[in-house]
Amino acid sequence: MAERAPDPEFVASFFTLTGAGFGEPPRHGFAARCEAAAAAGFTGIGLHVDDLARTVAGGLDVDGMRDVLATAGLRVVEIEFLAGWALDDEGPGGEGVAAVADAFGGRHVSAGEFRGGELDPVAAAKRLAEAAGRAAERDLLVAVEAFPWSAIRDYGTAVDLVRRSGAPNAGLLVDVWHFFNGGASPDLLQDLPGAGVAAVQLNDGPRVHDDLLVNARATRRLPGEGELDVVGLVQAVERTGFTGPYCVEVNTPGFRALPLEEAAERAFTTSAEIVRKARSS
């Protein structure tokens, strides 16, 4: 009889509990987000590189942030976001990732490219390898994400970059919304290079064929509340050996308007139910 996988940990990705849209300053501060995440059952959080300086400028220093995490029983798992490397040298995100990791540790940094443009896969893979080398110095995985409007427009391209990089700590960030709306199939996850599935972000949404950027920032729903095969994708990533932690990245206008505690509770319970369903099917 196969050994049952341990219950996974769940992580509240940064944008899930900000109460604000992508690229907007959080409506809820660091301490409030941590308290709500812990109360809902999350064991980890995501932190955007911009939010470290923002929180310190607001009067809560690094030691104070560590105290908040310790009191809540949380750890920083996901660091957002390493960009710029796919088309040219990475911007200040690399320095921000290092600052967050030095302050709080972390498991993985999400990486990708927001801009469109023509990708040189050889040059991009070389820069990914260099970024992964710097991340390895801080025991971080680099989780490469594909955005269907960007230079890394699909997960096949992301897999190719990881393979070309040769970096053992680089792998895929499988975001449900981007994976399916970028045209990927779970078969893509077989025989992955590097770190394989380095991270997973759970969410859901409609099948989208146009206005992809707008929809990605407005229709990323709770797991189980859309048209995407979240259960099947969880089963596919677990066949690769991935068992968590599962990050949850949800952000729609209606969701971010919810009271913080309700948003955290709904994000946790729907995600835990999806993983339970995937493991029992």
- pLDDT (tens digit, 9 = 90+) per residue, 52-62? 999 999 999 99
Q: Residue 238 falls within a domain, yes or no?
A: yes
Q: Quick check: 90 pLDDT over 70?
A: no
Q: Are 225 and 270 in contact (CB under 8 A)?
A: yes
Give the pLDDT mean for 17-32: 94
Number of domains the chain is built from: 1
Is the per-residue pLDDT at 208 higher than 90?
Answer: no
Question: Does residue 93 register a pLDDT over 70?
Answer: no
Residue 236: name the closest of 194, 182, 180, 181 by CA. Answer: 180
CA 172 vs CA 13, 55, 95, 124, 206: distances in Å: 16, 29, 22, 15, 22
Phi and psi at residue 271, in whole multiples of 5°? Answer: -70, -45
Q: Please indicate, yes or no, if residue 71 is contained in any of the structural domains.
A: yes
Mean pLDDT of 161-178: 98
Mean pLDDT of 101-106: 98
- Averaged pLDDT for residues 197-203: 98
In whole angstroms, what separates CA 35 from the centre of its chain?
Answer: 20
With a pLDDT cut of 70, the percent of the chain lying above it is 96
Is residue 5 a part of any domain in this protein?
no
Query: Average pLDDT of the chain?
Result: 94
Model confidence at 4: pLDDT above 70? no
Read off the tokens for 258: 């919810």
Return the DSSP state at 19. Answer: S
- Is residue 107 pLDDT above 90, yes or no? yes
The predicted-structure confidence for 125-160, as pLDDT tens digits, reads as follows: 999 999 999 999 999 999 999 999 899 999 999 999
Domain membership of residue 3 (yes or no) is no
Could you tell me the residue range of the domain that residue 150 belongs to?
A: 10-280
3-state secondary structure of 239: helix
Q: Is the confidence at residue 5, as pLDDT, over 80?
A: no
Residue 174 counted as domain residue: yes
Query: Is there a domain that residue 116 lies in?
Result: yes
Q: Is the pLDDT of residue 2 over 60?
A: no
- Cβ contacts of 147 within 8 Å, gap of 6 or more: 112, 113, 114, 153, 178, 182, 212, 213, 216
Residue 46 belongs to domain with CATH number: 3.20.20.150
Report the alpha-carbon distance of residue 62 to residue 100 in Å, rounded: 10
49 confidence band (pLDDT: 50, 70, 90): very high
